[in-house]
Amino acid sequence: MNKPKVVHISTVHPVFDVRIFHKECRTLANAGCDVGLVVPHDRDEIVQGIQIHALPKTRGRFVRMTRGTLRAVRCALAQNGQIYHLHDPELLPAGFLLKLRGKRVVYDAHEDFPRQVLRHHWIPRSIRPLVAAGVGLLARLASRSFDGIVAATPAIAERLRTKRTVTVQNFPDLCEFLPPETTPYRERPASIAYLGVIAEARGVREMVRAMGLLPESLQARLVCAGSFSPSDLEFRMHQVKGWERVHYVGWKNRMEIARLLSQSRLGIVVLHPTPAYIESWPVKMFEYMAAGIPVVASDFPLWRQIVDGAACGLLVDPQSPQAIADSVQWLLEHPLDAEAMGRRGREAVLNRYNWDMEAKKLLGLYERLTG
């Protein structure tokens, strides 16, 4: 592959986002590309061979989507890249501007954003269908005009179907799991891991209530690593029975996440059955599997294929705290079976659900773009 100068841009994601920085940027840098990342940050710096160009952090979505986008485009153009890789739907108009400047543009669709819009609390309910339709139209125009589309799931790829689309799923990077200090499974405390955004639609209320239904003799606790959305949700969860068995540790880096999972007996992912989640491929579930722990997951058709296919966990009604509690209790009371499930989940990641295979698809797209 010719080694182009590549500029990734995001006004929404954190600087060390797992998909953007740790997977895509590092993969391209390791392949010899000159990689820059334009992203909100407190300083310009070079990290693992990637030049970070810091954008000032903005307050409020409207300011971010207007003034923040203009700043990002100016900063990105100043890098004079050959390929510009966009990571946010609000950057789609900027992508058309970059095309007019003769640049090659790639749009990375992390989520089915038109469907996500329908549940965003900050958009007035009456106009959500109109906003969703507008975003969907813009994405379809981009799929016909940009040089490449990277879809995070097969369902997103199907909706943005074009010869320029490649599906690059957000599977775990095997080098992150397991850490050297992993505790033998049966010596671990009754710790249940939850990673990622902590929100009502992601099942936090049901998880907390399920903890309140577990027998005290299990001495179980739920360890949540991530951030609350919205921020006042944390206070509201303190009022829910079961919170006394929750340990909230806030945001953790990749090494800390691996260490947390190495001390856990199982991982939980009980997203609600919204249209966007039913077809999603949950990153946290694959990270639990990569760490060799069993999963308790929502019983969606796609997830059933993954979990039952690998025999790596239990499926539940995500809106039933009792069903969640029953599955957690069974796994804690049957450590031999739970450990075997964890081993099978890790084998599935080693054989199929891993970043090494997805990285080849990303590099294939860049090879096409660079001739």
Backbone angles phi, psi at 229, to 5 degrees: -140, 115
How far is the first Cα of the chain from the last one, in angstroms, to the nearest whole number?
8
**What are the tens digits of pLDDT across the range 308-358?**
999 999 999 999 999 999 999 999 999 999 999 999 999 999 999 999 999
Q: What is the pLDDT of residue 57?
A: 87
- Distances in Å between the Cα of 31 and the Cα atoms of 1, 255, 290 are 8, 23, 24
Given this model, what pLDDT does residue 31 score? 95
**CA atoms within a 13 Å half-sphere pointing along the CA-CB vector of 215:** 8
Q: What mean pLDDT is predicted for residues 69-75?
A: 94
pLDDT band at 108 (very low <50, low <70, confident <90, very high): very high
Q: What whole-number distance in Å separates Cα of residue 328 and Cα of residue 296? A: 7
Same fold, 5-171+354-369 and 174-351: yes
Cα separation, 318 vs 321, in Å, equals 7
pLDDT band of 113, cuts 50, 70, 90: low
Q: Where are the domains of the chain?
A: 5-171+354-369, 174-351
Higher pLDDT, 225 or 128: 225
Which two structure tokens, joined as six digits, stand for 21? 């920085």
SS3 53: strand
pTM assigned to the model: 0.89
pLDDT-above-90 percentage for the chain: 78
pLDDT at 115 over 70: no
Is 90 a residue whose pLDDT tops 80?
Answer: yes
The pLDDT of residue 116 is 65
2 has a pLDDT exceeding 90:
no
Q: What mean pLDDT do residues 46-56 have?
A: 97
Q: What is the token pair recorded at 304?
A: 């059933």
User: In the prediction, which pLDDT does 266 show?
Assistant: 98
Give the pLDDT of residue 119.
Answer: 62
pLDDT at residue 135 in the model: 75
pLDDT of residue 1: 61
The answer to which of 89-93, 96-100, 129-133 has the lowest mean pLDDT is 129-133
| Predicted confidence (pLDDT) at residue 137 exceeds the cutoff of 90 | no
Mean pLDDT across the chain, nearest whole number?
92
| Spatial contact of 174 and 159, defined as CB atoms under 8 Å apart | no
The predicted pLDDT at position 53 comes to 98
pLDDT tens-digit series, residues 345-358: 999 999 999 999 99
Query: Domain 174-351 in CATH: superfamily?
Result: Glycogen Phosphorylase B; (3.40.50.2000)
CATH ID of 5-171+354-369, from 2.40.50.140, 3.40.50.2000, 3.40.50.300, 3.20.20.10? 3.40.50.2000
Per-residue pLDDT of 176-199, as tens digits, reads: 886 667 889 999 999 999 999 999
More confident residue, 157 or 62: 157
Q: Quick one: CA torsion of 204, 271, 195, 60, rounded to 10 degrees?
A: -80
